[in-house]
Structure 1
Amino acid sequence: MIYSNEISEAKNGSKIPLFKNGKPANSKYNPDAEQILFESSPQGCIIVAGIAGGFHIEKLLNEKNISLIIAVEADSESLEFCKQFSSVKKISECKKTILCDKSNLEKTLCTKYFPAIYKNLTLVFHRAWKNENPQIAQEISLIVKNFLEKISADYSVQAHFGKLWQRNILLNLKFISDHSNENFFSAKLEQDKIKKTAAIVAAGPTLDFSIEEIKRGDFFVISTDTAFGTLIQNSIVPDAVINIDAQHISSEHFFCTGEETKTTFVFDLCSNLESVNFVYNKKNKIQFCINQHPLSFLATKNMEITKIESGAGTVTIAAADWAKNCGFQKLKFFGADFSYSFGKPYTKGTYLEKQFFSKSNRIISTEEKYAALMFRTELEKIHGQKNSFTTEVLKRYKKSLEDWAEKNSFKLKNGVYISERKIETKNFSAKSNFNYSEFYSQFINGIKELLKNPEPEIILESNWGLSVLPILAFFKNNTLFDSLKLAYNQALRYN
């Protein structure tokens, strides 16, 4: 509690709180005139640190360009104390205001702030409150800073792929509907296969040195899409290949696919349809899964479809999670380096190697192309490893895999991740009666309804509104109404 239990009265009659040292938290002359000063017109989501009597926050309610106000206090006791003041009561009743304390600020931001909707996020302080609580103010600043770092990578990915994801999901749903008599969903494997160790094969440089172990071992081989070409080149036909990439170029991973192989090709609904069609036309087994995209969840709510995690967005974690969903108790990773080793980013035999070698010349060599790929962002030397480098993105991917293993109770023992708990295998339906035309009509009409009243709270309360958040991120430089309209226009292409 940062306030005393005493309440003072300003000269204009307004009730104001006092800090524990007796100093007033608001003006003793005219607290109703208090306001937060901004360098430019405030907009988006505003975090106000320091609630006190609430006069300064009440002023913000009149700002039309502010869509969400998160007012935060030092602790829960202080927050409850502030709620007795008339201005705080008023702002607490407003739909666009959320009151919280420092301990649950991060949770509030994670569940209430959507950058695709609110765009800007600004932290401001009540001056007297900050002067009296500099340590708490610093802690709040750090919470907001860490939160922004955490979501910035995810939001930048949404802003880059949002439009492509929506396209791919709708086209893949249409593909499923057009082939409704075929099995695209079963993830059930025979028990003798599940008892094996699942080899999760990524395309890191160290795969060059572990190919022979995969050949000799009795593994159930689960390849990431990038490593698929390398395995085929080394006469290893994987049992499964995982793809979560939305880009058209990812279809090049599958150019080496044979006809009617033993391999099951697992595609996220966000995967590029060209990849799906290429594998399907070669008469290979296809299985669809879904990741975190809200449109995928909404479309498949009545399907028993495999749901997989990909951590920070890596196909390696997606492959591991698919193995876990199938019931594998033991996982061994190959080529999951999350680093640039031996002067290159990938193992031999990937689609990039073919691309770079075919386009190299005396002026721009293959080595130069690989160097350009690695030096896109700043490199950091890995201590204790010769000629090995990492980046902030790769470190985040590695941490994400470690978090996934811990969350799912996999412990590393002698190079193998072993589950410490019994994994329950799931029975997925073999076929789907999904009707694309029916879903598409509902989707289009749902967005059309939102366009009638495109307010943030209306969009966030609608399943259809949540389903278009990633593509709204793609249209980040537009107003919310214009972004929604553009999302609607894009969806009209896939009738």
Structure 2
Amino acid sequence: MENSINNEKPCLVPAAGRGFSVYYHNRYLYSRYNPQAAPIKTAISFDILPNTLVLVFSPLLGYGLKELIDKLPDDSVILLIEADEELFKLSNEYLQQIIKNKKNIYNVCIADGKSFFSLFNQNLLPAFSNFKRCLPIELSGGAQLYKLFYHSLTALADNAINQFWRNRITLVKLGRLYARNIFKNLGRVPFADYLKIKSVIKPIVVCGSGPSVENIIPFLQKNSDDCFVISVDNALMTLIKSGIFPDAVIAVESQLAIEKAYIGSCGTRIPIIADLTSRPHVMELTGGKVSFFLSEYEQCNYLDRIKKILNIVTMVPLGSVGLAAMEIALTLRKDESIPVFFCGLDFSFKPCKTHCRETPSHRKLLDEHNRLSTILCGESSFDANSFYFTGKDGKASITTPALSGYGKTFSARYSNVQNTFDIATEGMDTNIKKKSLENVLEIVQHFRRNIDTTARIKIHENDNQISCLEKVKKFLIDELKSLEELRTILITGKKTEKIIPIIKEREYLYLHFPDGYKEPTLDISFLNRIRAEIDFFIKDIKFSLNFLEENTKT
């Protein structure tokens, strides 16, 4: 917040018989002559669309608020925000007289973004799912006292609303696949190894699939034994073809297309660290050990129940395999003294080359090259949403809104994490400290002198397999019984009072519906869609139970 508050108290100043102005910090926060005119004019000038979160900054005495309330749609909300405690104490009495018994109007005093989000997280305000837009309004000069803070709140609200709807689009497209993959992978969990957190005691190198990863291949060819190399799935063959066998590959992609990234890796026995939502067949492709983690792609009961029976690493949904790889690296390193270097996480690309060589997209480009189809094909680089920016090398690079968003998330999440370094020479600048390969070599050599970096590091550990198997089996059997019971109820129409309780514990049946963010109902169209989903999941649960039975025998 840009102001340092002193002990001055705000005071009311009579304004020529037209109400009161407020004097604070050596300025009038309303006109001294007609304090109501400007706020009322401002309020009248706004049109409030349905599903709008209206942010009224520093409402003070509430001038103009009545006009806003009169035009507020039933599905919209007005949030009165004051950052100054003294102004809040002064204004609250006046505002309560205006908003008393009014729906969808809230008055709060907050001083940071965390407090803002806590209002939503604690259900003190309607969830962001109720809104499609944010409308900031200033009805007094008090908003200028904390201008930057109020602007940041507007940005936070806008981003939260946009993020919710972006996530909804993703869930509509992939939500069912995420859940089906989870149930298929559950049968593999008892036979997988658990990630041993804080187990890596040598420098970690995270390799993304951006073009910049090619620049560090010579370094890794000489020094990979002294580093713990983590590769994203798309960059796996880039490293293998260069004679570099990573210590782990991160798998998060849920769709069939990702299997192309593993062509050529069969028999390498490279360990796979996979999201439970990732494609099940991928676990068999390298022949290496498999460990699982869980991205909580939505806050829901069924994921909470799964977490209770599985002792696996959980993380927030990051959307990008590169971010997931970085998160795993930080989870595995022993402490902050272990450096984490990353490259290939460019969040951008060069014209006609979106990924490093040997990735599926690059191989496809080479395979389709002929006399009639030039290798310098711009279709993959230039679409309606791509745009240029200046990369960390000072040259023009191309990115997209999605890649740029991942880059900003990466920067916000890791720029203040100790001992993380960017060793790429191109791509988006993520505001993380940079190191040259010469500096990296010095650090690696320092670790080599002090510890045995060539010793094999165990990032996996075996838990009680029998206990885990029994828990998973019981969970799957209980789910199967509940789904079969729900199917019978929907067919016969008997015991309908059980429908909502069963569905609420199994959000995977409806989260991917366009209206899946709403509470389940007994509406016939909703139940018909639920009925159509049940058979998919019964099939997947039986698949996992059969997998458990077959592998238990062997």
TM-score, reference length from structure 1: 0.72
Structure 1 residues 40 and 304 mapped into 2: Cα distance closer, same or farther (>3 Å)? same
CA offset digits 1:168-207 (Å, max 9, x no partner): 3322332244346422x5012896xx23322211112132
Structure 1 residues 393 and 210 mapped into 2: Cα distance closer, same or farther (>3 Å)? same
**Structure 1 residue 80, shift from structure 2 partner:** 2.1
CA-atom RMSD, angstroms?
4.9
Structure 1 residues 243 and 411 mapped into 2: Cα distance closer, same or farther (>3 Å)? closer
**Structure 1 residue 74, shift from structure 2 partner:** 5.0
Select the structure of larger CA radius of gyration: 2
**Structure 1 residue 411, shift from structure 2 partner:** 4.6
Query: 8 Å contact 1:377–1:391 — kept in the other structure?
Result: yes
1:351 aligned residue (348, 360, 364): 360
The letter for the 1-side match of 2:478 is E
2:241 aligned residue (233, 236, 241): 233
- Paired positions, count: 456
Q: Using the alignment, how far apart are the partners of 1:58 and 1:170 within structure 2? A: 47
Give the aligned partner of residue 458 of structure 1. none
Query: 8 Å contact 1:106–1:144 — kept in the other structure?
Result: no
Structure 1 residues 190 and 104 mapped into 2: Cα distance closer, same or farther (>3 Å)? closer
Aligned-partner SS, 2:387: coil
Aligned-partner SS, 2:358: coil
> What does residue range 14-413 of structure 1 map to in structure 2 within 5 Å?
18-20=21-23, 21=28, 23=32, 38-39=46-47, 41-54=49-62, 56=65, 60=69, 65-73=74-82, 75-85=84-94, 88=96, 91=99, 96-101=104-109, 103-104=111-112, 107-109=115-117, 112=120, 117-125=129-137, 129-130=139-140, 132-133=141-142, 135-136=144-145, 139=148, 142-147=151-156, 150-151=159-160, 154-155=163-164, 157-179=166-188, 181-183=190-192, 186-188=194-196, 194-217=200-223, 218=225, 219-259=227-267, 261-271=268-278, 273=279, 276-280=280-284, 283-293=287-297, 294-295=299-300, 297-302=303-308, 303-308=310-315, 313-328=319-334, 329-341=338-350, 344-360=353-369, 362-369=371-378, 371-372=380-381, 376-382=385-391, 384-386=393-395, 388-389=397-398, 394=403, 396-412=405-421
Structure 1 residues 229 and 63 mapped into 2: Cα distance closer, same or farther (>3 Å)? same
Aligned-partner SS, 1:223: strand
Give the aligned partner of residue 490 of structure 2. none
Identity percentage of aligned residues: 16
Query: 8 Å contact 1:289–1:306 — kept in the other structure?
Result: yes
Aligned-partner SS, 2:249: strand
Structure 1 residues 176 and 248 mapped into 2: Cα distance closer, same or farther (>3 Å)? closer
**Structure 1 residue 7, shift from structure 2 partner:** 9.0
Give the aligned partner of residue 421 of structure 1. none
Any unmatched runs of 5+ in structure 2? Answer: 1-7, 422-434, 445-458, 487-495, 539-554
TM-score, reference length from structure 2: 0.66
**Structure 1 residue 79, shift from structure 2 partner:** 1.6
Query: 8 Å contact 1:224–1:242 — kept in the other structure?
Result: yes
**Structure 1 residue 319, shift from structure 2 partner:** 1.3
2:476 aligned residue (430, 436, 449): 436
Aligned-partner SS, 1:304: coil
Give the aligned partner of residue 459 of structure 1. none
Any unmatched runs of 5+ in structure 1? Answer: 419-424, 454-461
Give the aligned partner of residue 425 of structure 2. none
